[in-house]
Structure 1
Amino acid sequence: MTQKIQIGKLAMLVASLTPDELEPFMPALGEVSYCQGKAGSMEVQKVIAAVETAAKRNGIIKENVYRETHALYHAILESLEGVMRGQLGVGNMMRTVGLRFAIVRGEPYEHEKEGEWIAVAFYGTIGAPVKGLEHETFGLGINHI
Protein backbone atom coordinates (compact mmCIF):
# COMPACT_ATOMS: atom_id res chain seq x y z
CA MET A 1 0.00 0.00 0.00
CA THR A 2 1.43 3.33 -0.99
CA GLN A 3 0.23 6.70 0.17
CA LYS A 4 -1.46 8.96 -2.34
CA ILE A 5 -1.99 12.16 -0.34
CA GLN A 6 -1.00 13.09 3.17
CA ILE A 7 -4.16 14.38 4.83
CA GLY A 8 -2.45 14.89 8.19
CA LYS A 9 0.26 17.08 6.71
CA LEU A 10 -2.34 19.07 4.78
CA ALA A 11 -4.44 19.54 7.93
CA MET A 12 -1.41 20.83 9.85
CA LEU A 13 -0.56 23.24 7.05
CA VAL A 14 -4.12 24.58 6.73
CA ALA A 15 -4.39 25.05 10.51
CA SER A 16 -1.09 26.89 10.85
CA LEU A 17 -0.36 28.80 7.63
CA THR A 18 -1.76 32.05 6.24
CA PRO A 19 -3.62 31.97 2.90
CA ASP A 20 -0.51 33.34 1.13
CA GLU A 21 1.70 30.68 2.72
CA LEU A 22 -0.79 27.97 1.64
CA GLU A 23 -0.66 28.97 -2.03
CA PRO A 24 2.00 26.37 -3.05
CA PHE A 25 -0.16 23.60 -1.55
CA MET A 26 -3.36 24.41 -3.45
CA PRO A 27 -2.94 21.55 -5.99
CA ALA A 28 -2.82 18.99 -3.15
CA LEU A 29 -5.75 20.70 -1.39
CA GLY A 30 -7.73 20.32 -4.62
CA GLU A 31 -7.61 16.54 -4.13
CA VAL A 32 -9.37 16.62 -0.74
CA SER A 33 -12.33 18.17 1.06
CA TYR A 34 -11.29 20.60 3.76
CA CYS A 35 -12.35 23.51 5.90
CA GLN A 36 -10.89 25.62 8.66
CA GLY A 37 -12.11 27.57 11.64
CA LYS A 38 -11.32 28.97 15.06
CA ALA A 39 -12.18 27.90 18.60
CA GLY A 40 -11.26 29.55 21.87
CA SER A 41 -12.62 28.45 25.20
CA MET A 42 -12.05 27.18 28.70
CA GLU A 43 -14.41 24.28 27.88
CA VAL A 44 -13.37 21.26 25.80
CA GLN A 45 -17.00 20.67 24.76
CA LYS A 46 -17.12 24.06 23.04
CA VAL A 47 -13.98 23.30 21.04
CA ILE A 48 -15.39 19.92 19.96
CA ALA A 49 -18.72 21.54 19.03
CA ALA A 50 -16.97 24.22 16.92
CA VAL A 51 -15.16 21.56 14.87
CA GLU A 52 -18.27 19.39 14.44
CA THR A 53 -20.34 22.39 13.36
CA ALA A 54 -17.72 23.48 10.81
CA ALA A 55 -17.47 19.95 9.41
CA LYS A 56 -21.25 19.69 8.95
CA ARG A 57 -21.74 23.22 7.57
CA ASN A 58 -18.95 22.76 5.03
CA GLY A 59 -20.10 19.32 3.88
CA ILE A 60 -17.01 17.52 5.17
CA ILE A 61 -19.23 14.99 6.94
CA LYS A 62 -22.87 14.07 6.48
CA GLU A 63 -24.91 14.97 9.54
CA ASN A 64 -27.20 11.93 9.28
CA VAL A 65 -24.44 9.32 8.84
CA TYR A 66 -23.29 8.20 12.28
CA ARG A 67 -19.98 6.63 11.22
CA GLU A 68 -18.84 9.96 9.76
CA THR A 69 -19.63 11.90 12.95
CA HIS A 70 -18.01 9.13 14.98
CA ALA A 71 -14.82 9.19 12.90
CA LEU A 72 -14.64 12.98 13.21
CA TYR A 73 -15.15 12.80 16.98
CA HIS A 74 -12.23 10.40 17.41
CA ALA A 75 -9.97 12.52 15.20
CA ILE A 76 -10.89 15.58 17.30
CA LEU A 77 -10.13 13.80 20.59
CA GLU A 78 -6.79 12.49 19.31
CA SER A 79 -5.83 15.97 18.16
CA LEU A 80 -6.88 17.53 21.48
CA GLU A 81 -4.68 15.04 23.33
CA GLY A 82 -1.72 16.59 21.52
CA VAL A 83 -2.87 20.13 22.24
CA MET A 84 -3.43 19.38 25.92
CA ARG A 85 -0.53 16.95 26.38
CA GLY A 86 -2.78 14.00 27.08
CA GLN A 87 -4.93 15.67 29.74
CA LEU A 88 -8.28 16.54 28.19
CA GLY A 89 -9.23 19.40 30.42
CA VAL A 90 -9.08 23.13 30.15
CA GLY A 91 -11.11 25.32 32.52
CA ASN A 92 -11.17 22.70 35.27
CA MET A 93 -7.36 22.78 35.10
CA MET A 94 -7.20 26.60 35.03
CA ARG A 95 -6.10 26.88 31.42
CA THR A 96 -7.63 28.17 28.22
CA VAL A 97 -7.07 27.63 24.50
CA GLY A 98 -7.15 29.85 21.46
CA LEU A 99 -6.99 27.59 18.42
CA ARG A 100 -7.24 27.57 14.67
CA PHE A 101 -8.33 24.22 13.28
CA ALA A 102 -8.47 22.40 9.97
CA ILE A 103 -10.45 19.35 8.93
CA VAL A 104 -9.27 17.40 5.88
CA ARG A 105 -11.08 14.43 4.33
CA GLY A 106 -9.58 12.33 1.61
CA GLU A 107 -8.34 8.99 0.35
CA PRO A 108 -4.71 8.74 1.43
CA TYR A 109 -4.08 5.27 -0.01
CA GLU A 110 -3.78 4.06 -3.60
CA HIS A 111 -5.88 0.97 -2.81
CA GLU A 112 -9.45 2.26 -3.01
CA LYS A 113 -10.75 -0.32 -0.50
CA GLU A 114 -8.86 1.58 2.21
CA GLY A 115 -11.57 4.22 1.81
CA GLU A 116 -11.78 7.73 3.13
CA TRP A 117 -10.01 9.11 6.17
CA ILE A 118 -10.41 12.32 8.14
CA ALA A 119 -7.73 14.46 9.80
CA VAL A 120 -8.19 17.23 12.37
CA ALA A 121 -5.36 19.60 13.25
CA PHE A 122 -5.26 22.35 15.87
CA TYR A 123 -2.70 25.14 16.08
CA GLY A 124 -2.75 27.96 18.57
CA THR A 125 -2.12 28.73 22.20
CA ILE A 126 -2.81 27.14 25.55
CA GLY A 127 -2.10 28.43 29.02
CA ALA A 128 -3.32 30.16 32.12
CA PRO A 129 -6.38 32.32 31.52
CA VAL A 130 -4.19 35.44 31.73
CA LYS A 131 -3.21 37.28 28.53
CA GLY A 132 0.46 36.73 27.79
CA LEU A 133 0.87 33.56 29.87
CA GLU A 134 0.03 31.13 27.07
CA HIS A 135 2.34 29.21 24.73
CA GLU A 136 2.05 27.61 21.31
CA THR A 137 0.49 24.20 20.91
CA PHE A 138 -0.29 21.78 18.09
CA GLY A 139 -2.36 18.63 17.76
CA LEU A 140 -3.19 16.15 15.00
CA GLY A 141 -5.72 13.36 14.89
CA ILE A 142 -6.49 11.01 11.99
CA ASN A 143 -9.25 8.41 11.79
CA HIS A 144 -10.76 6.20 9.09
CA ILE A 145 -14.37 6.78 8.06
Structure 2
Amino acid sequence: MADSSSLSTALIKISPYTFSAIGIAIAIGVSVLGAAWGIYITGSSLIGAAIKAPRITSKNLISVIFCEAVAIYGVIVAIILQTKLESVPSSQIYAPESLRAGYAIFASGIIVGFANLVCGLCVGIIGSSCACLMLKTPHFL
Protein backbone atom coordinates (compact mmCIF):
# COMPACT_ATOMS: atom_id res chain seq x y z
CA MET A 1 0.00 0.00 0.00
CA ALA A 2 1.56 3.27 -1.09
CA ASP A 3 1.15 6.34 1.03
CA SER A 4 -0.11 9.60 -0.43
CA SER A 5 3.25 11.35 -0.19
CA SER A 6 4.92 8.84 -2.52
CA LEU A 7 2.01 9.11 -4.97
CA SER A 8 2.15 12.90 -5.02
CA THR A 9 5.94 12.75 -5.40
CA ALA A 10 5.57 10.39 -8.34
CA LEU A 11 2.98 12.62 -10.00
CA ILE A 12 5.17 15.68 -9.61
CA LYS A 13 8.17 13.91 -11.18
CA ILE A 14 6.26 12.96 -14.34
CA SER A 15 6.71 15.50 -17.11
CA PRO A 16 3.72 17.74 -17.78
CA TYR A 17 4.23 17.01 -21.48
CA THR A 18 3.51 13.36 -20.73
CA PHE A 19 0.23 14.23 -19.04
CA SER A 20 -0.66 16.53 -21.95
CA ALA A 21 0.10 13.85 -24.53
CA ILE A 22 -1.95 11.25 -22.64
CA GLY A 23 -4.88 13.67 -22.38
CA ILE A 24 -4.74 14.46 -26.09
CA ALA A 25 -4.54 10.76 -26.97
CA ILE A 26 -7.52 10.00 -24.73
CA ALA A 27 -9.51 12.82 -26.37
CA ILE A 28 -8.96 11.34 -29.83
CA GLY A 29 -9.08 7.66 -28.96
CA VAL A 30 -12.14 7.61 -26.75
CA SER A 31 -14.02 9.99 -29.08
CA VAL A 32 -13.38 7.69 -32.02
CA LEU A 33 -14.37 4.71 -29.88
CA GLY A 34 -17.68 6.41 -29.03
CA ALA A 35 -18.32 7.23 -32.67
CA ALA A 36 -17.53 3.68 -33.73
CA TRP A 37 -19.81 2.28 -31.06
CA GLY A 38 -22.64 4.58 -32.20
CA ILE A 39 -22.10 3.63 -35.84
CA TYR A 40 -22.16 -0.04 -34.88
CA ILE A 41 -25.44 0.32 -32.99
CA THR A 42 -27.09 2.38 -35.72
CA GLY A 43 -25.67 0.30 -38.55
CA SER A 44 -26.74 -3.04 -37.17
CA SER A 45 -30.32 -1.86 -36.67
CA LEU A 46 -30.33 -0.12 -40.03
CA ILE A 47 -29.11 -3.20 -41.88
CA GLY A 48 -31.70 -5.37 -40.15
CA ALA A 49 -34.54 -2.94 -40.83
CA ALA A 50 -33.46 -2.30 -44.42
CA ILE A 51 -34.04 -5.97 -45.25
CA LYS A 52 -37.78 -5.46 -44.72
CA ALA A 53 -37.98 -1.87 -45.97
CA PRO A 54 -35.10 -0.78 -48.26
CA ARG A 55 -36.55 2.75 -48.47
CA ILE A 56 -35.26 3.65 -44.98
CA THR A 57 -31.58 3.16 -45.78
CA SER A 58 -30.91 6.56 -47.32
CA LYS A 59 -33.04 8.42 -44.78
CA ASN A 60 -31.20 6.95 -41.82
CA LEU A 61 -27.67 7.58 -43.05
CA ILE A 62 -27.86 10.90 -41.23
CA SER A 63 -27.54 8.98 -37.95
CA VAL A 64 -24.22 7.54 -39.09
CA ILE A 65 -23.06 11.00 -40.13
CA PHE A 66 -23.93 12.35 -36.68
CA CYS A 67 -21.81 9.60 -35.12
CA GLU A 68 -18.91 10.54 -37.39
CA ALA A 69 -19.31 14.15 -36.27
CA VAL A 70 -18.59 13.01 -32.71
CA ALA A 71 -15.22 11.62 -33.83
CA ILE A 72 -14.45 14.77 -35.79
CA TYR A 73 -15.25 16.86 -32.73
CA GLY A 74 -12.77 14.81 -30.71
CA VAL A 75 -10.07 15.37 -33.32
CA ILE A 76 -10.77 19.11 -33.41
CA VAL A 77 -10.54 19.40 -29.62
CA ALA A 78 -7.30 17.38 -29.66
CA ILE A 79 -5.84 19.80 -32.21
CA ILE A 80 -6.90 22.74 -30.03
CA LEU A 81 -5.30 21.11 -26.98
CA GLN A 82 -2.14 20.47 -29.00
CA THR A 83 -1.88 24.16 -29.88
CA LYS A 84 -2.03 25.01 -26.17
CA LEU A 85 1.28 23.24 -25.58
CA GLU A 86 4.15 25.68 -25.30
CA SER A 87 7.85 25.00 -25.17
CA VAL A 88 9.47 25.96 -21.88
CA PRO A 89 13.13 25.89 -20.87
CA SER A 90 14.23 22.66 -19.23
CA SER A 91 14.73 24.46 -15.93
CA GLN A 92 11.02 25.38 -15.83
CA ILE A 93 9.47 22.07 -16.91
CA TYR A 94 8.56 21.15 -13.34
CA ALA A 95 7.47 24.65 -12.34
CA PRO A 96 3.99 24.80 -10.77
CA GLU A 97 2.57 26.63 -13.78
CA SER A 98 3.84 23.97 -16.17
CA LEU A 99 2.50 21.15 -14.00
CA ARG A 100 -0.86 22.90 -13.72
CA ALA A 101 -1.07 23.34 -17.50
CA GLY A 102 -0.17 19.69 -18.09
CA TYR A 103 -2.81 18.50 -15.63
CA ALA A 104 -5.39 20.85 -17.17
CA ILE A 105 -4.80 19.50 -20.68
CA PHE A 106 -4.91 15.96 -19.31
CA ALA A 107 -8.24 16.63 -17.56
CA SER A 108 -9.64 18.34 -20.65
CA GLY A 109 -8.75 15.37 -22.80
CA ILE A 110 -10.39 12.94 -20.40
CA ILE A 111 -13.55 15.06 -20.14
CA VAL A 112 -13.89 15.51 -23.90
CA GLY A 113 -13.09 11.88 -24.64
CA PHE A 114 -15.60 10.38 -22.24
CA ALA A 115 -18.28 12.97 -23.07
CA ASN A 116 -17.91 12.00 -26.72
CA LEU A 117 -18.05 8.32 -25.78
CA VAL A 118 -21.43 8.84 -24.13
CA CYS A 119 -22.55 11.13 -26.95
CA GLY A 120 -21.67 8.55 -29.60
CA LEU A 121 -23.50 5.87 -27.64
CA CYS A 122 -26.61 8.07 -27.29
CA VAL A 123 -26.59 9.09 -30.95
CA GLY A 124 -26.29 5.42 -31.90
CA ILE A 125 -29.24 4.45 -29.72
CA ILE A 126 -31.36 7.28 -31.11
CA GLY A 127 -30.37 6.37 -34.69
CA SER A 128 -31.28 2.76 -34.01
CA SER A 129 -34.64 3.82 -32.58
CA CYS A 130 -35.32 5.99 -35.63
CA ALA A 131 -34.53 3.09 -37.96
CA CYS A 132 -36.94 0.82 -36.08
CA LEU A 133 -39.61 3.53 -35.98
CA MET A 134 -39.32 4.20 -39.70
CA LEU A 135 -39.74 0.49 -40.33
CA LYS A 136 -43.06 0.49 -38.47
CA THR A 137 -44.25 3.97 -39.52
CA PRO A 138 -43.76 4.55 -43.27
CA HIS A 139 -44.64 8.27 -43.14
CA PHE A 140 -42.37 9.20 -40.25
CA LEU A 141 -40.10 11.47 -42.34
* TM-score normalised per structure 1: 0.25
Which one has the bigger strand percentage? 1
The higher relative CO (CA closer than 8 Å, separation ≥ 6) is in 2
Give the number of the structure whose alpha-carbon radius of gyration is greater: 2
* TM-score normalised per structure 2: 0.26
